[in-house]
Amino acid sequence: MSAEGAPARAGSDASPLRAAVVGRGRMGRAVAAALERRGHRVIALLGREDGLDAAAGADVAFEFTVATSAPDHVGWLLGMGALLAAAIWIGVKSR
């Protein structure tokens, strides 16, 4: 464990990841904060009014937006060569 309580990364000499997070809601902000706590660099935290160009150069991208936007975002992010994690909410209704 590291001093912050996070598991130590294998190969401690590894470079930090350059990450992009698409979606500035609770999940996107939480993932960005967790990445930074673990020593990674969040190069873009994008909301609906932001273009995806700021994500260029990311090693990994996290996509947390709505189902109507996600397919275009996922295609663009994969096209730039980033590893991708996506969460798409389909048919979820609040009570």
Question: Residue 8 pLDDT more than 70?
Answer: no
pTM reported for the whole predicted model: 0.75
Question: Residue 35 pLDDT more than 80?
Answer: yes
Question: Which among 51, 47, 48, 43 has a CA at the least distance from the CA of 19?
Answer: 43
Select the highest-mean-pLDDT range: 23-27, 68-72, 79-83: 23-27
Length of the chain: 95
- Ordered alpha helix ranges (H), the chain: 26-37, 70-79
Question: Residue 36 pLDDT more than 90?
Answer: yes
Find out whether 39 and 18 touch, Cβ atoms under 8 Å. Answer: no
Q: What percent of the chain has pLDDT over 70?
A: 77
> CB under 8 Å to 33, separation ≥6 — which residues?
none
